[in-house]
Amino acid sequence: MPTPTYRQPIGLSGGFTPPPRPILILIALQLASLILDSFATTRPVISLLRLTPAVWQLGFVWQLATYPFVAFGGPSLWFLVSMLMLAWFGGDVWRGLGRRHFWRLLAISVLGSSLVAVAAFFLLALAGAGGLLGPVPFFLLQGQGTLLTIFVAAFATAYRYATVNLFWVLPLQARWLLGIEILVQLILFLQSHDLPGFLGTCAAVGLAYLYVSSGGNRRGLGRSWQKLSRLPGDLRSRWRRKRRGMKVVPGTGKAGVRKGPWVN
């Protein structure tokens, strides 16, 4: 996978590069589905493409892959903003990863997040936890929001030290977008009580991070997963060392390891 070299701010102050053709196609699908969803005669067709419990109830397994490619939420100013963000982030991800890795990233993240969400919905329904299913099934894991979540997570991983103008005002490093995404989804979960959708969205962020950070190969994916699984323990160790006031004194031997005497 090519090494990203993008280091310039994105957003209105960072300029705009026309998105590549695949991103334009994704945006066109969103616009076309939004129009079809606005009319009663064609709305059932769009409903068949969204993620619903019909995946296991009626065998509509294609919904596991089609749900992010149809618009969700109706026409609004936020829809236009999300299309612009798809063009910005999606274009940078396409140029950074290349065609093959871009489509692999999309396939793995879309299918993985929908499987996580469907499994969570099924288990919660069996447990009788209807209060955590939300009024609309998979409300947080539908349409353009899922695509944008994947692209932002991939961008934040591939271009982690790039400067991003958050809301076109606040500059910050792109890597912080991963945490911001999870925080936003947590707030939306507290509003909608859609636990399956929340878990599916978190899975989309995690899968995008793992794929991009691994370089798109199995060996790198294993290293990335091991690093991610060790993260809670590493954070606890850092917190304990900081609390106890412990410092590690670098040595002068091979790999900086001091043979002795030890200094605490």
Tell me: the pLDDT tens digits for 229-241? Answer: 555 566 566 666 6
Cα–Cα dist 225/175, whole Å: 18
Please list, in sequence order, all residues whose beta carbon lies within 8 angstroms of the beta carbon of residue 174, skipping any fewer than 6 positions away. Answer: 155, 156, 159, 160, 161, 162, 163, 164
**Is 95's pLDDT higher than 50?**
yes
Q: What is the pTM of this model?
A: 0.77
- pLDDT at position 13 is 37
Whole-angstrom distance, CA of residue 52 vs CA of residue 185: 19
Q: Minimum mean pLDDT among 94-103, 221-230, 241-250: which range? A: 221-230
Q: What is the pLDDT of residues 9-25, one digit of tens each?
A: 444 334 557 889 999 99
What is the reported pLDDT for 254? 52
CA distances from 91 to 27, 84, 124 (A): 11, 10, 37
- Cβ–Cβ under 8 Å, residues 206 and 230: no
pLDDT of res. 74? 82
Please list, in sequence order, all residues whose beta carbon lies within 8 angstroms of the beta carbon of residue 18, skipping any fewer than 6 positions away.
Answer: 91
Three-class secondary structure of residue 122 per DSSP = helix
pLDDT at 252 over 60: no
Could you report the per-residue pLDDT of 24-34, keeping only the tens digit for each? 999 999 999 99
Judged by DSSP in three states, 170 sits in strand
For 68, which DSSP code? G
pLDDT > 90 fraction of the chain, expressed in percent and rounded: 52
Average pLDDT over the chain reads 81
Q: What are the pLDDT digits (tens) for 110-141? A: 999 999 999 999 999 888 888 888 888 899 99
User: Structural domains in the chain?
Assistant: 12-216 (1.20.1540.10)
Give the confidence band of 5 by pLDDT, cuts at 50, 70, 90. very low
| HEC sequence for 25-49 | HHHHHHHHHHHHCCCCCCHHHHHCC
Say yes or no to pLDDT of 245 above 90.
no
* pLDDT band at residue 261 using 50, 70 and 90 as cut-offs: low
Residues present in the chain in total: 264
Q: Give the residue-averaged pLDDT of 190-211.
A: 94
Q: What is the pLDDT of residue 168?
A: 64
Half-sphere exposure of 127 (CA within 13 A, CB side): 10
